[in-house]
Amino acid sequence: MREFDDAVLEYFLENQQQLFPDPVAETLEEAEEFLEDCMAIVVDSAQEVLEYFEEEGIDLDGADEDEILEAGEVFEIGDGRYLIVEG
């Protein structure tokens, strides 16, 4: 089971509509359950975001780092970490 701290859960709750047109969670508990269900991960740097996409075999189609970090499924927590949600 993945552990998501409050900073990650609160950020996702506040910004979930960057990926989903309608809210998928209203409480921290619902956010944690949703993130666990879709196997979201938290990485410690922008470099780890890029490595994740490469490891998953996601076609980056020549996208630069900024474009990848601005993808809907990438949430910049604000403390150097990133949440990646597979919608």
87 residues of the chain, pLDDT tens digit each:
457 999 999 999 999 999 999 999 999 999 999 999 999 999 999 999 999 998 988 877 778 888 889 999 999 999 999 999 986
Q: What is the largest CA-CA distance in the chain?
A: 37
> Measured on CA atoms in the order 66, 71, 48, 6, is the torsion positive or negative?
positive
pLDDT at residue 87, rounded to an integer: 62
Both structure tokens of 84:
């990646």
CB of 35 closer than 8 Å to CB of 85: yes
Q: Report domain extents, the chain.
A: 6-84
**CA 24: distance to chain centroid?**
14
pLDDT at residue 44, rounded to an integer: 95
- Does the pTM surpass 0.95? The reply is no
